[in-house]
Amino acid sequence: MKEAEERPLIGIVGPCGSGKSTLLAGLEKAGFRCRHIAQEHSYVKSMWQVITNPAILIYLKCSFENSTARRKLNWTPADHEEQLSRLSHALEHADLVIDTNEAGLEDVLAQALAFLEKKTP
């Protein structure tokens, strides 16, 4: 496996509670260079490109129910929908989309690793 600094930069986006930090930790442990992109907090839909411009973009899907349960958020469905709207550009440009609603932590990491092993040298 190449040294981390030689590997392509991987960006991870998704709504709050989707598992971005957990996936990032697992991928970094496997030797990948990653950035958690807090795109869901920006009104500029292409901010993920401006700040990070990753070679590979992974989008994590998460429902309102799971986001609020995982993060103990006091949100309304409209708050979640606003995050999804802010993330729409990233979703359209994602190289990999993983639905974290039913996938466990290990499965999300396994899906990402399988994809990255095929896409990275």
User: In the chain, what percentage of residues exceed pLDDT 70?
Assistant: 90
Q: Above 70 in pLDDT, residue 1?
A: no
* Nearest one of 25, 10, 12 to 61, comparing CA atoms: 12
Domain locations in the chain? 4-119
| Cα(116)–Cα(91) distance, integer angstroms | 18
Q: From the CB of residue 76, how many other CB atoms can be counted at a distance below 10 Å?
A: 11
Who's near 7: CB < 8 A, 6+ residues apart?
Answer: 31, 32, 33, 120
Instruction: Answer whether 0.85 is exceeded by the pTM.
Output: yes
Of 43 and 117, the structure prediction assigns the larger pLDDT to 117
Q: What class is the 4-119 domain?
A: alpha beta
Q: Is the dihedral of CA 59, 60, 61, 67 positive or negative?
A: negative
